[in-house]
Each structure stands twice: as structure tokens, then as C-alpha cells.
């Protein structure tokens, strides 16, 4: 008898066909709450769940006594109860690696867009305001040769730094829990304490995961250490930053500009002051949002759940102790 699998996310027809060949698959709309009472009969028999933005609660886990694996179509899993899953012997899989370069593209897009005021000036042109050559009031800032400070130097942070160092001759500083001697040699990167990085960097880019230690890592004190000409980039998680402190820093000229792909509340509320600031480039959390990368992420999740339910080790297992 085939194992039961629930899919709640965007998979291609080919990916669904692969799963249907191996498992008894139920596809739920993303708008459907997994823990809806109407789904309890299904959950009682399910062995695997695959999807994005999954709402996994203890109550849902109680309703799914046969659950073996959850495969999230994302790298981040701060919204999932890892300790509870581990305690119950349920594997949690994510999708690192496949989105590194695409997310780094997004990060460096924000560097360029904020420095050269691309969005602001494009809207200015569309509004018919370009009547003569622009003056200093509309000039941007150079990117090449500047100092790029990376808060976090994992896969994505390193990929952003490579773009800066190798493509734009930027000087790279990084704040990280452990030294990266190979990257220091390759990129000329210098490891330093966070306060030193903030004071020395023209661009500060955040790529750390959201944990208890990194929540609100960047607040009023950290913005005060930055240069008034500095540009702040966040492609990590919105809650890594005290958003009210960021707004205050932008409104009062503590820093020059910000490029943001993530926010404390998503979607960003229409009442947010960030939406009315010309020195802010705000994106709708598109770090990995390309056709190629989202398909690769979905494929990794498919491979993870397939291997797990076949009694093999998944490719990307978060809670390794479950598989030991």
C-alpha cells in the first residue's frame, strides 16, 4: 500500500506525476488551513507533507500520528517548530544551495538600485519631470571601490560578497561567528566585530538567519554607528531588524537609504512609512523568485520527501538527529 502525501504548494505537473507514481497524493490549495477539521481524516493517515509557508502546529501534529517528514519549499524554517518535530521523530527538510545565487542577485540588485536611486529616478522620469539635465540633488553614489559590510557570511552572504569584490572591486568586511580564511584569501575579506563593520562600511548587507540571537540584531544603536552616507540592505528576515528604528534612521538622515526585500510584517502594510520614502527600495520578498530557482526549490523538496518516505536519507535534512 502506498504511503500518503499531502502537497500544499506549487509543483510542476512533472513533479506531481513523479510523486503520484510513488505515493497516494492529496493536493490542497495554499489557502486551505492544513489543520482545518475537514482535513483531520486525511491527516490521520498522512506520512509526508510538502509545501511552502506551511502552518505546522502541535495540534496538527497530534492529528497526524503517522507523519514521518515535512519538506518545506524554502531555506528558512524559523516558522516551523523544529524542537517539537525532532521530539516526535519527524524529519524536517529544507532547500538550501539551490537559491543561493538567485538570492544574491537580488541582494546586489538592491545595492545598485539604492546607490543609483534607480526606482526613484525611473518614477521621476515617468512622471514627466525630466525637463533638463539633472543636478547634484538627484545624483546617486558609486558602488565600485566602496566597502561592503556583510552581517552573516554563509552561502548567500559569500555570494553577495563575491559579486561586490570580484565584479565591482569592493572591499569586503564580514561579521560572522567563525572565520572564513579561504574567503579572506579569495576576496580580500576582513573579519571584524559588528560595531567596527557598521562604522567602516558604505553598504551594510544582512544575510543572517532569524534565530533567538539574531532577532532585532540591528536597531537604533547599530544604525547610529553607521555613516550618514551608508546604505542598508536586508535580504535575511524582517525581524532581524527593529523596523521602527530603521524608519527613524531613514527619516532623520542617520543613514542615506535602504534596500529591503523582507519586513517585520509581510505583506508590508499600506500604512507603513517605508512606502512613502523615496530613499527606500522595497521589494515583495522576491529573493528566490525566478522561474528557474523556484522550480529547483520545488524539485529539492520533492526529492527530500521521496527519499525520506523510501527510508533513505534526504538531501537537505534540518534535524539530523532524527535520522541517526
Distance CA 200, CA 307 (A): 47
* CA proximity to 281, closest of 253, 267, 260: 260
Q: How far apart are CA 73 and CA 96, in angstroms?
A: 10
pLDDT tens-digit series, residues 139-191: 999 999 999 999 999 999 999 999 999 999 999 999 987 999 999 999 999 99
Q: Is 266 a catalytic residue?
A: yes
| Catalytic, out of 84, 215, 266, 292 | 266
Nearest of 151, 219, 159, 221 to residue 191 by alpha carbon:
151
In angstroms, the CA 200 to CA 21 distance is: 56
The confidence score (pLDDT) of residue 55 equals 86
53: three-class secondary structure by DSSP: coil
Q: How far apart are CA 66 and CA 90, in angstroms?
A: 9
- Residue 323 binned pLDDT confidence (cut-offs 50, 70, 90): confident
Catalytic residue among 4, 47, 173, 237: 237
Q: Cβ-count burial of 76 within 10 angstroms (0-12 exposed, 13-18 middle, 19+ buried)?
A: middle
- Tens-digit pLDDT profile for residues 216-270: 999 999 999 999 999 999 999 999 999 999 999 999 999 999 999 999 999 999 9
pLDDT tens digits for range 61-119 = 999 999 999 999 999 898 899 999 999 999 999 999 999 999 999 999 999 999 999 99
Which residue segments constitute the domains of the chain, with CATH numbers given?
4-96+292-323 (3.40.50.720), 100-282 (3.40.50.720)
Residue 14: is its pLDDT beyond 80? Answer: yes
CA distance 279 to 250: 8
Residue 40 annotated to the active site: no
| Full-model pTM | 0.92
Catalytic residue among 40, 116, 155, 285: 285
Q: What is the phi/psi pair of residue 8, to 5°? A: -135, 85
Averaged pLDDT, 30-43 = 84
pLDDT of residue 324: 58
Q: Which residue has the higher pLDDT, 271 or 38?
A: 271
Task: Report whether 181 contacts 158 (CB < 8 A).
Answer: no
Amino acid at each position: 500500500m502506498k504511503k500518503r502525501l499531502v502537497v500544499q504548494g506549487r509543483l510542476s505537473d512533472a513533479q506531481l506525476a513523479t510523486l503520484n507514481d510513488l505515493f497516494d497524493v492529496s493536493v490542497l490549495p495554499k489557502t486551505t488551513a492544513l489543520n482545518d477539521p475537514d482535513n483531520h481524516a486525511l491527516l490521520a493517515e498522512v506520512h509526508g507533507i510538502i509545501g511552502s509557508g506551511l502552518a505546522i502546529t502541535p495540534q496538527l501534529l497530534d492529528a497526524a500520528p503517522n507523519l514521518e517528514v515535512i519538506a518545506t519549499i524554502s531555506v528558512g524554517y524559523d516558522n516551523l517548530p523544529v524542537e517539537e518535530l525532532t521530539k516526535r521523530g519527524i524529519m524536517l527538510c529544507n532547500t538550501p544551495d539551490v537559491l543561493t545565487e538567485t538570492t544574491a542577485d537580488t541582494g546586489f540588485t538592491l545595492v545598485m538600485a539604492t546607490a543609483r536611486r534607480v526606482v526613484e529616478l525611473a518614477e521621476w522620469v515617468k512622471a514627466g519631470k525630466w525637463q533638463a539635465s539633472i543636478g547634484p540633488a538627484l545624483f546617486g553614489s558609486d558602488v565600485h571601490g566602496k566597502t561592503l559590510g556583510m552581517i552573516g557570511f554563509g552561502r548567500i552572504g559569500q555570494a553577495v560578497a563575491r559579486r561586490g569584490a570580484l565584479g565591482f572591486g569592493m572591499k569586503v568586511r564580514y561579521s560572522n561567528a567563525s572565520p572564513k580564511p579561504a574567503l579572506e584569501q579569495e576576496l580580500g575579506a576582513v573579519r571584524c566585530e559588528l560595531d567596527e563593520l557598521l562604522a567602516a562600511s558604505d553598504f551594510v548587507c544582512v544575510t543572517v538567519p532569524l534565530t533567538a540571537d539574531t532577532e532585532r540584531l540591528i536597531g537604533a544603536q547599530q544604525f547610529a554607528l553607521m555613516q550618514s552616507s551608508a546604505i542598508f540592505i536586508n535580504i535575511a528576515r524582517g525581524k532581524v531588524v527593529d523596523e521602527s528604528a530603521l524608519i527613524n534612521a531613514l527619516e532623520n538622515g542617520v543613514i542615506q537609504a535602504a534596500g529591503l526585500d523582507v519586513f517585520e510584517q509581510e505583506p508590508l502594510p499600506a500604512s507603513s512609512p517605508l512606502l512613502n520614502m523615496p530613499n527606500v527600495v522595497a521589494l515583495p520578498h522576491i529573493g528566490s523568485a525566478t522561474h528557474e530557482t523556484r522550480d529547483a526549490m520545488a524539485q529539492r523538496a520533492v526529492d527530500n520527501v521521496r527519499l525520506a518516505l523510501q527510508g533513505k536519507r534526504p538531501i537537505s535534512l534540518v534535524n539530523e538527529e532524527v535520522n541517526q
